[in-house]
Amino acid sequence: MPSIEDFTAPLWTGTREIFVPKEKVTELSSGWYKSTYNLPHKGSVGAWRNGRLHAHDMGDHWAVHLDRVDPQMHSMGHLIADAPLLLFLWSGFLNSMLMAKEGLESSIGLIPGTNYCLTRMDKLRLVGGLALVFVGTWVIIDPDLELVTFLFLIPIMIIILGSMMVFDGVAGREGGRISKAAGGLALVGFGSIGILVEELVLLLLLLFLMFWTLASGIYLLLLREEKMDHLRDRVAPIVLGGLSLGLGVFMLLDIDSAVYMLLRVIGLLGIVAGSMQVLYGSCAWNRSKA
């Protein structure tokens, strides 16, 4: 029986994505590893990588595409080339809405002859969702107070992440664990400095976002994908690259506006997440009164 790699030749000649039934291929070889972080993919229950090959587990088949850069070889290059900030935000937003819709359709039905939802969700979803919507709206309307909280919480989160890495590293003795503990200590130190010098965290975050968007814009504008099957696949990188470059220049020229834009994006994500919880909670509330 052939392996999944035997079906990937079209990807190297311009096909954007192929679909391979699992029944026609062997299990994934040892060269594949589970991918933890991915752009959302409709219907995917997991993802695996092997070099530039990126396979999404769709249940009964594999959806395979070719990344421009191998993340294991060049992690930052992969972020720039395959996951520009704008694409990351847009894809995440659309897919979160889609997954919420599918979740409602699959886990919540309607009682025949009524408008009440069948669900076991309790009222905490409604309360928590309303709180998220309130906070998100507050951030969008008046982000000044949220800026202070943001500058304080980010270093705290970095310290917590670093501490977890240290404890995980101390638990083992092999070299990989030791390097992980060292990396955790570095994060703890960076987070501690961030608490003392709040502007440092914000500055470094903005510098990272500027570099990400500018580099993505330049890369995509210089990219030539004549081999792609469809015109849209050749035009999309140009459009996305132009928007990314414009966003990067905007962040570079107007840092204050960039900060507030970042906070408002966070607020918008909070509103979306909260609205989904309110929807679930409302169904539970209606069902309890049925």
Q: Backbone phi, then psi, for 8, in 5-degree steps?
A: -95, 0
- Please tell me the least confidently modeled range out of 114-123, 170-179, 191-200: 114-123
Residue 23 lies in domain: 4-73
- On whether residue 161 sits in a domain, the answer given is yes
pTM score, whole prediction: 0.51
63 forms bridges with which residues in the sheet? 19, 56
Residues 51 and 97 occupy one common structural domain: no
Domain count across the chain: 2
What is the percentage of the chain residues whose pLDDT exceeds 70?
Answer: 53
* Residue 192 in tokens: 């501690």
Name the more confident of 37 and 76.
76
Same domain, yes or no: 105 and 42:
no
**Amino acid at the residue 80:** I
At 120 the pLDDT is 46
Asked if residue 58 and residue 103 are part of one domain, the reply reads no
Is residue 78 a part of any domain in this protein?
A: no
Q: How far apart are CA 49 and CA 34, in angstroms?
A: 6
What tens digit of pLDDT does each residue of 158-167 get?
Answer: 777 677 767 7
Q: For residue 107, what pLDDT is reported?
A: 46
- How far is Cα of residue 250 from the mean position of the Cα atoms in its chain? 23
